[in-house]
Amino acid sequence: MTQSMIRPVTPADYREYARRRLPGFLFHYIDGAANEERTADRNQSDFGRWQLRQRVMRDVSGVSTAARLAGEDVALPLALAPVGLTGMFARRGEASAGRAAARVGVPMGLSTVSICSIREVQAAGPAVWFQLYMLRDRDLVLQLLEQAWESGVRTLLFTVDLAMEGVRHRDIRSGMVGSTLRARLGRAWQIVSHPRWVWDVGLRGRPHTFGNLGFFDTASNDLNAYKSFIAGQFDRAVTWEDIGWLREHWQGRLYIKGVLCEEDARAAAERGADGVVVSNHGGRQLDEVSSTIGKLPEVVAAVGDQLEVLLDGGVRSGLDIVRAVALGARGVLIGRPFVYALAARGEAGVHDLLATLQHEMTVAMALMGVTQVNELNPDCLQYCGPERV
């Protein structure tokens, strides 16, 4: 079947569109993961360990996917995850995705290293959650926090699983990283062989700098200079004690993103976090760790009565959202799926993908005999995976 005959509906459909429309190194950057990418694969496949329980002869005339996340009403228990460089996948990508999120009624996470600034995305209309990395330059962190607060952001996602960048073999193979002549020529060829991207993103999507770091002077106003600066700024010495410092300077809601075990979840609760995001960075950091859905029950059992627990990684359908919520997550974040849709069809693609996820969730709830999100619980599922120890 040719591309022109396909109407993209699912994340897999949008992924195929994105693969054809993006320069190869950009597609593999968003599509790839760490090492052999086994954790990224398990993030998706492990959802299949839980089957949905069908129930009949119940009044499901008023099914609603409405929920509350981070103290705000949302149309469904989902937020767009913060994804760095989103503005390289579509023209002013973060703002376009933000408009789609606002139309549907879900929040948008914005990366420290986004192309569009917080203000530009806020102007698009969504509730913005700002994602923060702890940098060595604490004055720079304070400037980011101040910028977020003044822009109206009240929810902070503090990402803690990036003490070092993961080993991403695909980025080397594709030419995404590397300063050799061969790598530079490879990137150049991939770019010029995608004229649609060159026109829409490369030319009309400028500037391609990190919008939230516009106040930082660099000798060269280009993306590589910013990337090098940030890479040198990741602080490997961050500990739980730094949460206290962060709490002193951030008065809004604080979520710790990158928790994958009950011990770290309890530590987050003890330090005054409002929530945790069960996350392994989409399998992009440490390969061969557990899937997020596999660890969700453990984290919920440990802190679910104290904190709001969210999940990201592997969500590809409304059925996956149902599974995650039934297992105790308040909601989920999606990253790759919305970026695929954005690269394929811009704002319209993200909107239609979110609408599909909501419809899938509505149908699943109705056929499970459930009308409200808060009615979903473990009894709505049947575990069919390997025997648990």
Domain positions in the chain are 3-236+254-383
Which residues are documented as binding site? 29, 82-84, 111, 131, 133, 159, 168, 257, 279, 281, 284, 312-316, 335-336
Which residues are documented as binding site for FMN? 82-84, 111, 131, 159, 257, 279, 312-316, 335-336
Q: What is the pLDDT of residue 222?
A: 47
CATH class in words for 3-236+254-383? alpha beta
Give residues with Cβ within 8 angstroms of 59, minimum separation 6. 371
Tally DSSP H helices, then E strands, for the chain: 15, 12
Q: What single string gives the DSSP state of each residue in 72-90?
A: EEESSSEEEPP-TTGGGTS
Query: Is the Cα dihedral 168, 171, 173, 179 positive or negative?
Result: negative
Of 214, 117, 230, 111, residue with least CA distance to 159: 111
CA distance 266 to 264: 5
Which residues are documented as binding site for glyoxylate? 29, 133, 168, 281, 284
CA distance 93 to 109: 13
CA distance 290 to 278: 11
Question: Would you call 52 exposed, middle or buried from its count of C-beta atoms within 10 A (0-12, 13-18, 19+)?
Answer: middle
Task: Classify 153 as helix, strand or coil.
Answer: coil
pLDDT of the chain, 389 residues: tens digit per residue: 445 547 899 999 999 999 999 999 999 999 999 999 999 999 999 999 999 999 999 999 999 999 999 999 999 999 999 999 999 999 999 999 999 999 999 999 999 989 999 999 999 999 999 999 988 889 989 999 999 999 999 999 999 998 888 999 999 899 888 778 888 899 899 999 999 999 999 999 998 888 998 755 444 444 555 556 667 777 888 999 999 999 999 999 999 999 999 999 999 999 999 999 999 999 999 999 999 999 999 999 999 999 999 999 999 999 999 999 999 999 999 999 999 999 999 999 999 999 999 999 999 999 999 999 999 999 999 999 887 75
Q: What is the pLDDT of residue 224?
A: 57
Catalytic residues: 281
